[in-house]
Amino acid sequence: MVYVFDTSSFIVTSHYYPQQFPRFWEKFNLAVNNEEIISVREVFRN
């Protein structure tokens, strides 16, 4: 399954600090690398 993240999703995840939630970031980064989490170009620009 592929999840499309918009700007608000990235704002919410920014509250999950890597040093406090390392397992979350491991899984999140793995999903991004596997292209299971994607976004649109406009989000990258903001």
The domains of the chain are located at: 3-45
The pLDDT score that the predictor gives to residue 26 is: 96
11-22 residues labelled b (16+ CB within 10 A) or e (exposed): eeeeeeeeeeee
The pLDDT score that the predictor gives to residue 40 is: 87
The pLDDT score that the predictor gives to residue 19 is: 92
pLDDT digits (tens, 9 = 90+) for 1-46: 999 988 888 889 888 899 999 999 999 999 999 999 998 887 777 6
The pLDDT score that the predictor gives to residue 46 is: 60
